[in-house]
Amino acid sequence: MPAKLTKRLIETLQPRDEPFELRDSELKGFVVRIERGGAKTFYLRYAFGGKRSCRHKLGVFPNVSVEGARSLAKAASGDVAKGIDPAARKKEEKIKAANERVSTLGVYLKEKFEPHALTHMKSGAVQLKRIRSDFEKLLNKPLMAIDKDMVAHLQQDWLKAGLQKRTINRDLQRISSVLSHAVSSGTIKHHPLKGGAVAPLKYDKKKVPRFLKPDEEAALRSALIAREEKMRADRDSFNDNKTISKKRKVLPKLEGDYIDHLRPMVLLAMNCGLRRGELFSLRWTDVSLTTKMITVEGDANEEGDGSKSGHSRPIPLNTEALSVLKAWKKRQADTNGLVFPSQDGARFNNVNKSWSAVRKAAGLNKFNFHHLRHSFASKLVQAGVPLNTVRELMGHADISTTTIYAHLAPGNLHAAVALLNSAAA
């Protein structure tokens, strides 16, 4: 039975086995609901848009007083009379407030996109790091303010700084994915870069990748050996130096086939086509010296590594690769852990310093570590290995990626053009 809702009445209401409501006798639709746990919540019940029973929450007693809730109910009733749904408006206001709270790119990345990226993206942590680095100038900008002109300006800045067009296009894809997520989450209404607003830069997708020529490979191998010989000589000199304080310990003599990780890493990259991240994450459990195989796992680890396609790929070991791994394994205490652990046993983040020194010593210009992988593929094609086999060994998801090496096949283009001779005869 309805009764006028007062503070005294509300305080006397006790919870029951099931929730129940008490209607106010003076204001139509104004009710208090008592939950089984004792919570007392004010609502306005009303009909709207063909629905007989809509409900608009006014507040919880005693945080909201009875008179305060009554005033809110009267205002909401007035909105209903004007054709405004108070519950829908409140929902919109909540969404707007939430969107305003994550309005800048930096905050949106942290609160919205990062949980999504770390859960659903193969290399989420790496992608987030690149976005924050590449788009540092935009982190304090509201998402709605990021437009085609702003991004196009960045695109031109990167070109002037000497970035490769392919790299710039990948960066644009990253920010585009963030904006797409913002649209799907309702944070922004439209994607400012869709519909060709900022066109990707055109580049020669069939440009011959950089790979080692025979004299360059010989120079690299010599530089790697020279580096190790110098390390041995430096260690011997250190231990033989009579001016060393007696308190300093003599360091172990550097012996064995390899002094440290760099030469075996480079040789494996040249003979197996492994990516740098795949080398860093390779474990002895992925290596079978008996069957002469390496398996690159498809699943990504916490660093985002794993095969780029997301599929595991077996790689046979040739004679040199097998020899390298056998010799290197003798140096490892943990034959179930990483094949190439850093000094503290953790996974390498990079080998930039040591690789750069060797590259310069070998006189290799414009040659990075990834080009060792191109050298692997190029030598296979030049030896007459079918492109589809090369695709499988490289782990390319699409044969079109492998076709950049097609012209290296022996006599491939010449044989095709020679067919015209027989046709003319």
Is there a contact between 283 and 306 (Cβ–Cβ < 8 Å)? no
Q: Which of 261, 374, 379, 396 is catalytic?
A: 396
Phi, psi of 41 (to 5 degrees): -120, 135
275 noted as active-site residue:
yes
Return the exposure string of 175-211: e unless at least 16 CB atoms fall within 10 Å of the residue's CB, then b.
bbbbbebbeebebbeeebbeeeebeebeeeeeeeebb
Q: Which of 181, 275, 374, 379 is catalytic?
A: 275
What are the distances in angstroms from CA 89 to CA 12, 93, 102, 103, 132? 33, 6, 20, 20, 35
Pairs from 121-130 (Cβ < 8 Å, separation ≥ 24): 122/300, 122/304, 122/306, 122/310, 123/300, 123/303, 123/304, 123/305, 124/304, 125/302, 125/303, 125/304, 126/303, 126/304, 127/174, 127/304, 130/171, 130/174
CB atoms within 10 A of CB 326: 12
Is there a contact between 181 and 120 (Cβ–Cβ < 8 Å)? no
- DSSP category for residue 63: T
d(CA 106, CA 104): 5
Q: Which of 43, 46, 258, 405 is catalytic?
A: 405
Q: Which of 74, 91, 230, 370 is catalytic?
A: 370
116 noted as active-site residue:
no
CB atoms within 10 A of CB 148: 16
d(CA 217, CA 221): 6
HSE, side-chain direction, 13 A CA sphere, residue 141: 13
Q: Which of 308, 313, 347, 374 is catalytic?
A: 308
Whether omega before 62 lies within 30 degrees of 0, making that bond cis, reads yes
* CA-based end-to-end distance of the chain: 108
Is there a contact between 289 and 329 (Cβ–Cβ < 8 Å)? yes
261 noted as active-site residue:
no
Phi, psi of 180 (to 5 degrees): -65, -40
Q: Which residues contact 364 (CB under 8 A, 6 or more apart)?
A: 212, 216, 219, 220
311 noted as active-site residue:
no
Q: Which of 373, 374, 379, 391 is catalytic?
A: 373
Q: Which residues contact 394 (CB under 8 A, 6 or more apart)?
A: 273, 373, 376, 377, 401, 402
276 noted as active-site residue:
no
Residues assigned a catalytic role: 275, 308, 370, 373, 396, 405
